[in-house]
Amino acid sequence: MTALLAGILLGYLIAWPRLRTLTGLRTALAEARQLADHDRLTGLLNRWAAARLVFASVEVGRRPTLLALIDLDNFKTINDGYGYQAGDQLLRIVAARLTQAVLPHRGFTARLGGDEFLIVLPHTSTGAIGDALARLAAPAVLHTDDGPISVIPAGSAGITVYAGAGPTTFVDLLHEADVALHHAKHQRGSHRTFQTGMSMPGNAGRHGPRRRDQHPTGGQQ
C-alpha cells in the first residue's frame, strides 16, 4: 500500500506542471469566451451572443419566442447634462432591472449597443415586458461631479413574436421589433407588438446607426 501511494504521489508530481498549464489554458479560454459574449459595461450578453441564442431557439429549435427591443427615453439628456459616467451608471442600473424582470420567466437580456437592450423570452411571457418597463421606471440615484441626482429611467419597447411561422432570422425579427418600437415611442414608456402590415412610421430609418448616433453611450461598449 505504501509503495502504491508513493507511486501515485510521484506520478502526480511529474504531471503537475502539465496539469497546471492545461488548467491555465482552460481558464484563459473561459475568460476569452466571457469577454467575447458579454458587454463590458453591463455584463449582459452582447448582440452576437444574443443572435446565437435566438438562432438556436428559432431556427434550430423552432420554439415560439418573444423578442422585445427596448430603447431608453431621453438618455441623451443624461449623457449631455451629467457626463458619460452618469450615463454608464444608468445603463448598469437598467441592465440589472431588466435582468431581474426576465429571470423568473426563463428569459435573458442583452445590450445591443448604446441605450438599446433586447429581451428574449418564451412567447407566453408577454406580460413580462410591461413588468420590465414598470421596474425600469423606478427612481434611480446617479453620482455626478455635482453630487448625487435622482432620475426616473423610462423606456419604450417594440415586441415581435415568433410563433412557428414567418421570419426566422435574428435580423428579420429584430427589424419587426424595431418597427413596433418606433410606434411605441409615440407614447413614451409604452410597448407595442408588431402586426402584419405594420411599417416604419414616417421617415424613421431601419434599426441601427440612427438611434445609436442620436443617443451616444458612455466611454465603454
| 26 and 116, same domain (yes or no) | no
Sorting pLDDT into bands at 50, 70 and 90, what band is 203?
Answer: low
Residue 220: predicted pLDDT: 40
135-138's contacts with Cβ under 8 Å and 24+ in sequence apart are 135/97, 135/98, 135/100, 135/101, 136/70, 136/94, 136/97, 136/98, 137/189, 138/97
| Whether pLDDT at 208 is above 50 | no
- Position 65 scores a pLDDT of 93
Whole-model pTM: value is: 0.76
Is 52 in the same domain as 123? yes
CA distance 101 to 24: 36
Percentage of the chain with pLDDT > 70?
74
- Report if residue 171 sits inside a domain: yes
CA 67 to chain CA centroid, nearest Å: 11
User: For residues 31 and 217, which has the higher predicted lDDT (pLDDT)?
Assistant: 31
- pLDDT bin (cut points 50, 70, 90) of residue 115 is very high
Three-class HEC string of 55-117: HHHHHHCCCCEEEEEEEECCHHHHHHHHCHHHHHHHHHHHHHHHHHHHHHHCCEEEEEECCEE
Quick: pLDDT tens for 159-175: 999 987 776 899 999 99
Residue type, 207: H
Same-domain pairing of 27 and 112: no
Phi-psi sector, 147: left (phi>0), alpha (psi -120 to 50), beta: left
* Residue scoring higher pLDDT (25 or 52): 52
Report the number of distinct structural domains present in the chain. Answer: 2
Task: Identify which of 182, 179, 208, 206 has the alpha carbon closest to the alpha carbon of residue 194.
Answer: 179
pLDDT value, residue 200: 87
Residue 221 belongs to some domain of the structure: no
- 220 found inside a domain: no
Answer yes or no: do 50 and 2 share one domain: no
Element (H, E) at 134: helix 127-136
pLDDT in tens, 75-114: 888 888 888 899 999 999 999 999 999 989 889 999 999 9
Residue 154: inside a domain, yes or no? yes
Same domain, 83 and 151: yes
Contact 122, 66 (CB under 8 A): yes
Residue 206, domain CATH: 3.30.70.270
184 or 14: whose pLDDT is higher?
184
pLDDT band at 191 (very low <50, low <70, confident <90, very high): very high
pLDDT value, residue 164: 79
Model pLDDT for residues 5-27, shown as the tens digit of each residue: 566 565 665 666 666 666 655 55
Whether the pLDDT of residue 4 is over 80: the answer is: no
pLDDT of residue 212: 34
